[in-house]
Amino acid sequence: MGQNVVQKIIDAHIVEGVPQAGTEVGITIDQTLTQDATGTMAYLQFEAMGFDRVQTEVSVSYVDHNTIQEGFENADDHAYLQSIAKKYGIYYSKPGNGICHQVHVERFGVPGKTLLGSDSHTPTGGGIGMIAIGAGGLDVAVAMGGGAFRLTYPRVVKVNLTGKLQPWVSAKDVILKVLEEVSTHGNVGTIIEYGGEGIANLSVPERATITNMGAETGATTSVFPSDEVTRLFLEAQERGSDWCEITADADAEYDRIIDLDLSTLEPMVACPHSPGNIKRVADIAGTPVDQVLVGSCTNGSLRDIYVTAEAVAGKHIAENISFGIAAGSKQVMEMTAKDGSLAKLIAGGGRVLETACGFCIGNSQAPRTDAVSFRTSNRNFYGRSGTNSADIYLVSPETAAAIALAGTVVDPREYFAQEEYPRFSLPEKFDIDDSMIVAPAEDGSSITVQRGPNIGNPPDKAPLDESLCGEATIVVGDKITTDHIMPAGSRLKYRSNIPKYSEFVFERNDPDFFKKCMKNKKAGVDNVIIAGDSYGQGSSREHAAICPMYLGVKLVVARSMERIHKANLINFGIVPAVFENPADYDTISQGNTLSVEHIRDAVESGSERVSMKVGDREIVLKLELTDMDRKLLRAGGKINAVREGILS
Ligand code: F3S
């Protein structure tokens, strides 16, 4: 039987287990990436595990999230990241060089390789034919040390593309349509593979937009074949020798096939407050708008900035709109400066923002109270913009440009004439200048790592206790994101200082959570989090597990839990469990006394169920854990496991 693209790449990297859907396999990791928000902790963990040099083919440390230097904290982190990269064999991409995923596709991504990144949008690399997976920083640290990455051998969903996109409809509309089709849940353990004759009409940056926002489906990753389009892109990046062809065999099989005719797609929009809340732009036409932002790792490519600039050229932004543009990389910024795109945007009233995550992570451009903001980024969770009362919508650059000019929601096909659509073709040669990528030292042994006062140590965790006795310290609802658990924005500068950052856990849900946890911890009472569906969705932020661990959280019980967050909980020794009977969730209140007798025995012995006592009632919890998960939990997390030699 033939193989699909996913099977070809994964099977070539398996070092443990058998390739069978639903079973756990270990794969070797060729490349890693970190960004600064997750990177400092990943490298602190890399050091704590005692590795002396990265074992991967390529590892890159990007600074793109917290580039604002309003205090010493971020600058301290950057100095730490630069020195540790030099010492241990890691490339360092300086602030200003661009957003990790955009730069990685441009300068490092290689078809057929595996990439593990401590950022949930690492699947962007699937646009160039890699198996690119987002994970917690600790998993990335282990991979840098040469350890295997464990994942469920995936089910593969094929999205079969035919036809060609119409003017004013683009790659963002493709992924919004896919999100409408597969939604944001129920895709754990699957990989989305794109194929069909329609892919020939999508460039690598367009494919990367699609695989980037594929992260919102909850699938492990998304991938395109590596074909002639990929070869031309790599040639234009002067990396033609990195290319190889990877396509699905004619008789490859898939678990599901979704047919999508590109020529029938319309401009789409994700409405507040979920990337899965999809409508047609035409359905919300006339909605007043305050802010429009183009950029981010989803839509910051040369094509995206060029098309936006051409759409705006010779016109002016509506007076009620604040319009910002952030190129995804220095390469894009430089090329759009040279070709006049930036000048057209500035002339039209655009605000040119730094080449960084910026507005996407709530670090800049927080909208006004009750604002309506249209953005080309990939997430619109409640509060992520920095303004809780704002409504955030996600659209294509084409739709964003039309709205910025009209001052209200408008379908770009109605606003612009068909023949006005800017024809963009990929340059034969991109401008290559890697001067903001610092290469590691050949021998880093004499390099001193710079540790300012903001650089702490990963907190220690004792092995799992035999029994748990505590309280439901917090009860939260459905779709709690890692942004709810561990806010970013202005708090992110404390990411290397766990005791300080922990003060902000769940600050939006319960401002007293920190105090309650610390009081319990001192009194020897275990803290337990009770949650509804899709707990931990959103980013790969492992601080959403590290800080609760520091606060003495021992158990999280949810109706359902997201993949990366569940793995992070296990990595930091917190037991993840789900209710056998989902209705039991409604019977637990904040402050209830809880206990689980012999939880360590249950974890160690492979039990799939354990009983939790709530007052005088018994509630059955499911432990959906692999053998390795159980070993990690028993040891008190992955750092302990590496130190004890449980993990290679
Ligand atoms: Fe940065 Fe937003 Fe992408 S935070 S990595 S631009 S999802």
Task: Provide the CATH number for the domain around residue 86.
Answer: 3.30.499.10
Of 83, 93, 91, nearest to 450 by C-alpha is 83
Which structure tokens are listed for 123? 């699947």
If you measure from the C-alpha of residue 462 to the centroid of ligand 1, how many angstroms do you get, rounded to a whole number? 34
Bridge partners of residue 577, in order along the sequence: 557
Instruction: Say what the pLDDT of residue 331 is.
Output: 98
Same domain (yes/no): 395, 529: no
**C-beta 378 within 6 A of ligand 1:** yes
Q: Give the model confidence (pLDDT) of 58-72 as tens digits.
A: 999 999 998 988 888
Same domain (yes/no): 257, 340: no
Same domain (yes/no): 293, 408: yes
Q: Give the model confidence (pLDDT) of 143-202 as tens digits.
A: 999 999 999 999 999 999 999 999 999 999 999 999 999 998 889 899 999 999 999 999
Whether 39 is in a domain gets the answer yes
If you measure from the C-alpha of residue 222 to the centroid of ligand 1, how many angstroms do you get, rounded to a whole number? 17
List the end-to-end C-alpha distance of the chain, in Å, as a whole number: 34
CB 403 within 8 A of CB 409: yes
Whether 461 is in a domain gets the answer no
- Residue 283 burial (CB < 10 Å; 0-12/13-18/19+)? middle
- What is the C-alpha to C-alpha distance for residues 97 and 60, in angstroms, rounded to an integer? 12
- What is the C-alpha to C-alpha distance for residues 605 and 98, in angstroms, rounded to an integer? 47
Ligand 1 atom nearest the C-alpha of 296 is 6
Range of the domain at 296: 268-420
CB 588 within 8 A of CB 475: yes
- What is the C-alpha to C-alpha distance for residues 379 and 176, in angstroms, rounded to an integer? 12
* Domain count along the chain: 3
Whether 646 is in a domain gets the answer no
**C-beta 236 within 6 A of ligand 1:** no
CB count within 10 Å of CB 130 equals: 30
**C-beta 33 within 6 A of ligand 1:** no
**C-beta 375 within 6 A of ligand 1:** no
Q: Give the model confidence (pLDDT) of 578-631 as tens digits.
A: 999 999 999 999 999 999 999 999 999 999 999 999 988 999 999 999 999 999
Same domain (yes/no): 292, 352: yes
Whether 300 is in a domain gets the answer yes
**C-beta 610 within 6 A of ligand 1:** no
Domain boundary among the residues 264, 287, 302 is at 264
If you measure from the C-alpha of residue 296 to the centroid of ligand 1, how many angstroms do you get, rounded to a whole number? 6
- What is the C-alpha to C-alpha distance for residues 272 and 352, in angstroms, rounded to an integer? 25
Domain boundary among the residues 218, 245, 264 is at 264
Same domain (yes/no): 253, 303: no
207: which residues sit within 8 A by CB, 6+ positions away?
A: 126, 127, 128, 171, 194, 199, 224, 229
Sheet holding 268-270, edge to edge: 278-280, 268-270, 391-394, 372-375, 291-294, 322-325, 351-352
Same domain (yes/no): 203, 305: no
Same domain (yes/no): 307, 252: no
Ligand 1 atom nearest the C-alpha of 360 is 2
Same domain (yes/no): 486, 562: yes
Instruction: Say what the pLDDT of residue 460 is.
Output: 86
**C-beta 119 within 6 A of ligand 1:** yes
Instruction: Say what the pLDDT of residue 16 is.
Output: 94
Instruction: Say what the pLDDT of residue 70 is.
Output: 80
Same domain (yes/no): 86, 33: yes
Ligand 1 atom nearest the C-alpha of 361 is 4
Whether 433 is in a domain gets the answer no
**C-beta 36 within 6 A of ligand 1:** no
Q: Atom 3 of ligand 1 has which residue's CA nearest to it? A: 297
Same domain (yes/no): 180, 285: no
Same domain (yes/no): 273, 259: no
Whether 453 is in a domain gets the answer no
CB 377 within 8 A of CB 295: yes
**Residue 112 identity (one-letter amino acid):** G
If you measure from the C-alpha of residue 357 to the centroid of ligand 1, how many angstroms do you get, rounded to a whole number? 5
The DSSP element (H or E) to which 373 belongs, if any, is strand 372-375
Ligand 1 atom nearest the C-alpha of 539 is 7
Whether 439 is in a domain gets the answer no
Mutate to test the pocket of ligand 1, among 329, 332, 377 (most ligand atoms within 8 A of CB): 377
Same domain (yes/no): 128, 141: yes
CATH number of the structural domain spanning residue 489: 3.20.19.10
Q: Give the model confidence (pLDDT) of 387-401 as tens digits.
A: 999 999 999 999 999
**C-beta 377 within 6 A of ligand 1:** yes
